[in-house]
Chain A
Amino acid sequence: MENKDLLEKILECVEFGKVNKAAPFPPAMKGQDGADELTKLAIEQGIDPAEILNDALIRAMEKVGQKFSEKKIFVPQMLISAKAMNASMEHLKPYFQSGAVKRKGKFIIGTVSGDLHDIGKNLVAMIVEGAGYEVIDLGVDVNSQKFIQSIRDHREAIVGLSALLTTTMHSMKNIVADIKNEFPDIKLIIGGAPVNEDFKNEIGADNYSADPQAAVNYLNSLVA
């Protein structure tokens, strides 16, 4: 298979969630090689891993994020696409570690203290990773100290804070204040069901993202 065709095929597998040959989803691609086999083949054929990342995986996840924003696909399809992307990424890991393939930047994310909800946070983490960023996921119920420590460890990172409960918006406000107090220049994105643009302005965050793709767009605008 020509390199260009192979990259298009990997893109298609990630976009539609074909993880590997054995995967039953999507039914229309049953029995065909998936992201796993095709990425391995691409590397064996000598395609530059950076090309695989940029021309297949990132483009595929952009399409996924866009379709999700437009409500053309929903959480399950997005998760299956992310799984296909991860299958590809496994083959690229050695190149990230050696520095042969570079990430666009670092993104720290966590659900704020007092809140255990992680669905939205996980979706954002997956789409941001698929967009070419290294994601440091601090998990749920994350307090100011934990965010601040992680920023100390990854000074160049951009930070995302998620909340689902209206009652933990207060916690988000305190964490944003604590982080900005320590690191005035750090860029903070907030997201989650109860928050909005007004709340972002009120608490002094830098960006409100209504969905994962919006977070990627903001990150891309910062690293461009």
Chain B
Amino acid sequence: MKVYSSEELSIPSQDISINKVNIIHGLGVPPDEVDPYLDSLLDSLISDAIPLAELQCSYSLFADPDFTSQTGMAVEEKTFSLGKMIFSALKNSSHAAFFIATAGDRIEKYSKEFMREGHALEGLIVDLIGSEIAEFGAGFIHQKIGQDMAVRNMYITNRYSPGYCGWPVSDQKLLFQLMAKACCSVQLTESSLMLPIKSVSGLIGVGTEVRNRGYACAKCDAEFCIYRDKK
């Protein structure tokens, strides 16, 4: 049962901060191998790209998710195939919060413009900046949910997204059906991918018997994931 839907929150670009180290990691460069040329290019592109962000996020809260199946969770007659790891982290939740955050499409267009002109490195860096901004939005809404639930004397879990930790990306369709009017103009493709591309959707468990356990790479079985041990 839906108990609450947040408004669509807009985050001004001057409030966005991203970690350059994550971009460097995304480029596959060891931190001690960053040369002055790359360092200065990163600074310049971060300054150019952040003002292009149109960061929006929202969440919807549902009571009494059903965890009676083996690794699934049912909310409003929609069953999510969470996989073992997420199921285990969420199974004691009394509520489920679904969220969406998007950086908009202007950064993606900026990246594509570089690519079209043959500047692949610049295009890739801007693409990574866009991903970081969308993650910043996901972090923002995660924190907001934590604050809103603290008022209700409840805790929150880590956030999990379809496509990761064994949760099929196709479940994104169910998530969007539940979010309905709070999708921040994010659309799904036929293969369940989000447009604008720089968007993050996901699920957070809520209740008195759950905890946020921090970054969870050590528990995930995706040994070759590129995001592994990034933070």
Contacts and interface: CB of A to CB of B under 8 A. Distances in A.
B166 interface: yes
A32 B60 CA distance: 59
Interface string A18-36: 0000001111000000000
A102 B191 CA distance: 38
A168 B169 CA distance: 8
Interface stretch (A3-11, A112-120, A153-161, A182-190): A112-120
B224 A193 contact: yes
B222 A75 contact: no
Contacts of A83: 118-121
Interface residues of B, number: 32
Size category of the A interface is 20 to 34
Contact of B191 (A114, A195, A196): A114
Interface string B60-94: 00000000000000000000000000000000000
Nearest to B168: A167
A76 B29 contact: yes
A114 B169 contact: yes
A115 B168 CA distance: 11
A83 B26 CA distance: 20
A195 B223 CA distance: 10
A194 B222 CA distance: 7
Given A114-B169, A141-B191, A167-B168, A76 B121 contact: yes
A122 B120 contact: yes
A168 B189 CA distance: 15
A79 B120 contact: yes
Contacts of A82: 120
Contact of A79 (B124, B170, B191): B124
B121 to A, nearest CB: 4
B118 to A, nearest CB: 6
Contacts of A166: 164, 166, 222, 225
B85 to A, nearest CB: 11
B192 interface: yes
Given A24-B37, A141-B189, A167-B167, A116 B121 contact: no
Given A75-B28, A79-B120, A167 B191 contact: no
A101 interface: no
A80 interface: yes
Contacts of B28: 74-75
Interface in A101-147: 113-116, 119, 122, 126, 141, 143
Contacts of A75: 27-29, 124
B37 A116 contact: no
A126 B120 contact: yes
A24 B197 CA distance: 32
Interface of B: 26-30, 33, 36-38, 118-121, 124, 127, 162-164, 166-170, 189, 191-193, 197, 222, 224-226
19 contacts: A24-B37, A74-B27, A74-B28, A74-B29, A75-B28, A75-B124, A82-B120, A83-B119, A114-B193, A115-B193, A141-B189, A164-B226, A166-B164, A166-B222, A167-B166, A193-B225, A193-B226, A194-B224, A195-B224
Given A27-B37, A194-B222, 7 more contacts: A74-B28, A76-B29, A80-B121, A113-B191, A114-B192, A119-B124, A167-B168
Interface of A: 24-27, 74-76, 79-80, 82-83, 86, 113-116, 119, 122, 126, 141, 143, 164-168, 171, 193-196
Closest 4 pairs between A and B when the two form their complex, measured CB to CB: A79-B121, A74-B29, A193-B224, A79-B120
